[in-house]
Amino acid sequence: MTDALRAAAETMKAVRERCVWSQQITHRDLVPYLIEESHEVIDAVEDGTRADLREELGDLLWQVLFHAAIAAQHPDDPFDIDDVAETLTEKMVRRHPHVFAGAIATTPEEVLVHWNAAKAAEKRERRSVLDGVPAGMPALARAQKVLGRAARVGAGDDVALAAHDAAEIGAAPESEDELGDMLLMLAAAARTNGWDAERALRERLRTLEDEVRDAEAR
């Protein structure tokens, strides 16, 4: 760890030990702050300055350091930021055999083959392609993730067919800008009708997830 990162970790440790507010905080208490700081990084990437990005990355790093400081005080299974960094390094070395182990990857697609193979070997205990998709993701991001997993087992054909039909009648967007317009129109329709767009998509995703599990059981 560099001197600057070590200083940040030591600063966090001091705050955790000596700040009466920080002493009471749990991993669960930090979740809203983690979500907020993550979105602020996204805002800085998409619409901020270099200075904004530098600051927001620091705020996000503080959340990681905070969680590690809390974990270090666990009575039965403590770990600290060095353990987090060691675990991360080991994982990234495994997932980049074309960098560290003599494997060959000359295209981004070949890199993904190595990555997915290493990830599959790490997650052998998973029973479903849906395992590992965070339940707390925003519904739209989760929908894209679940659709990708569903395609692996041949589920979600009705969704794919609907997308194909939309393309046939010229309703499908041809750019991200047009996609944004279409999504905004759908949000407006939800608002007009008094519907909850996030809830509607979450509930439809539950149906798709059931289809995936049925396909896996066949």
pLDDT digits (tens, 9 = 90+) for 61-116: 999 999 999 999 999 999 999 999 999 999 999 999 999 998 999 999 999 999 88
C-alpha to C-alpha distances, 97 to 87, 90, 107, 124, nearest whole angstrom: 16, 12, 14, 19
**pLDDT, mean over the chain:** 89
Q: Is the pLDDT of residue 23 over 90?
A: yes
The per-residue pLDDT for range 162-211, each reduced to its tens digit, is 555 555 555 668 888 988 898 899 999 999 999 999 889 999 999 988 88
What value does the CA radius of gyration of the chain take, rounded to a whole number of Å? 22
Separation CA 40–CA 50 (nearest Å):
13
pLDDT recorded at residue 67? 98
SS3 186: helix
Distance CA 170, CA 164 (A): 10
Terminal alpha carbon distance of the chain: 49
Q: Which residues contact 202 (CB under 8 A, 6 or more apart)?
A: 139, 142
